[in-house]
Amino acid sequence: MGGAEQAFVESAFASNWLSTVGENITAFEEEFEGLLGRPAVAVSSGTAAIHLGLRLLGVGPGDEVLCSDLTFVAMCNPVRYLGAEPVFLDSDRATWHLDPNVLEDALRKRAGKNKLPRALAVAHLYGGCADLDPILALCHNYGVPVLEDAAEALGARYRNKPVGTFGDFGVYSLNGNKIITATGGGVLISSNPAWIEKARFWSQQARDPDASYQHSELGYNYGFSNVLAGIARGQLQVLDRRVSERRGIAIKYQKAFSDLGGISLMPQPEWGFHTNWLSCFFINEREFGASRDSLIRRLEEANIESRPVWKPMHMQPLYSGCERFGGTVAEELHRHGICLASSSSLEEVDQLRVVNIVRGAVGGGPQSRLGGGV
């Protein structure tokens, strides 16, 4: 926590507005809008925000939605909630993100069959950003709307503009593992204020105005809490600090491994401002001298958690049989990518332990200090 959260939470208690209405919710949405420049609705999770956004784009039974293959499952599940099917698009090795050439191929082939997808859901991974210019141009040409899943990338920018503000919808998460958190929660933003009002209406059970418990549309219990909105307001104040902390951790790892071969930080393309929500590295087993899995085991033996990069959606039993475009890049990233300890609160001595185990795994020897004066 940053410090101001508790006072905002206490103000919710003092006002006795603890549930889905209250000053913190309104203020948080205004502050979020101030940060990103687009109308925002706060909801119970990032997943809920994706569900609402895709429904507003008209996704329904029988539709297809193009999705980044390399992502977290919560991005694709709402496609199924709506009775539609995801179609997975492979990553570009140079960015780890959705490959615009694969998108082009998918759109051309679907247009040829006169069966264009209802939408594209594109993930911004690990605090980075997808190459939006070509992606948006292609989708514009084919008339396919875009939902940006920026759940992992609050604070990241593409060509100096925040990710999530380019497509028809942008989604953020306030889950416990994200760069800022309200313990749980999500935000949906759009350039279209009417869509945000509709999302708000659906998120609160879609009760018809001026009628007593009459419902004409299908709603959800996706509202945010005034208590959690207090936490979220305090967290917004420290977003910039969290971003620089996370970036600092990634850069220290990168420097500490700079003399080792076969271990490289997730690409940081020059068009993006990367928050490094997680410090992810690609392990080239032959050059590094140890496998990604043996590295995870070495860390585990020292009671240090690390994780593989996301398992692509086409490898999930849940989505076996779904169509996909592209090759095996996402699969290779999953098999050889590792997320190292990245918490904003990671102490320098603890980071040094991680560094020494990684170096020890290849006989690179321990290193007494972290590289550079970052």
Ligand X SMILES: *Cc1c(COP(=O)(O)O)cnc(C)c1O
Residues near ligand X (CB under 6 A): 45-47, 71-72, 74-75, 123, 149, 151-152, 173, 175, 186
The amino acid sitting at 110 is R
CB of 214 to ligand X, least distance (A): 30
Of 99 and 152, CB closest to ligand X: 152
The two tokens of residue 258 are: 């700079």
Report the residue number, 144 or 151, with the smaller CB distance to ligand X. 151
307 φ, ψ (degrees, to nearest 5): -140, 155
* Burial class (CB within 10 angstroms; exposed 0-12, middle 13-18, buried 19+) of 89: buried
Report which residue's Cβ sits closest to ligand X. 46
Min dist. Cβ of residue 54 to ligand X (A) = 12
Q: Which is nearer to ligand X, 186 or 272 (CB)?
A: 186
Are 120 and 66 in contact by the 8 Å Cβ rule? The answer is: yes
Q: Is 241 helix (H, G, I), strand (E, B) or coil?
A: helix
Residues facing 67 on adjacent strands: 88, 121
CB 182 to ligand X: min, Å: 10
Shortest Cβ distance from residue 125 to ligand X (Å)? Answer: 7
CB 171 within 8 A of CB 133: no
Spatial CB neighbours of 100, under 8 Å, sequence gap ≥ 6: 92, 131, 134, 135, 138
**Closer Cβ to ligand X, 72 or 195, answer by number:** 72
CB of 75 to ligand X, least distance (A): 4
Distance between CA atoms of residues 122 and 256, nearest Å:
32
- Taking the least distance from each CB to ligand X, the nearer of 95 and 173 is 173
Tell which residue, 120, 75, 122, has the closest CA to residue 97: 122
Rounded least distance, CB 92 to ligand X, Å = 17
Q: How far is the CB of 288 from ligand X (least distance, A)?
A: 27
Comparison of 46 and 272: residue with beta carbon closer to ligand X? 46
Most distant CA pair in the chain: distance in Å? 72
> In the complex with ligand X, which residue's Cβ is closer, 107 or 188?
188
Least Cβ distance, residue 226 to ligand X (angstroms): 18
How many other C-beta atoms lie within 10 A of the C-beta of residue 4? 16
Distance of CA 44 to CAs 167, 178, 208, Å?
22, 14, 21
Judged by beta carbon, residue 75 or residue 136, the one nearer ligand X is: 75
Residue 289: both structure tokens together: 């001298």
Residue in this structure with the two tokens 């271990």, named with its chain if needed: 263
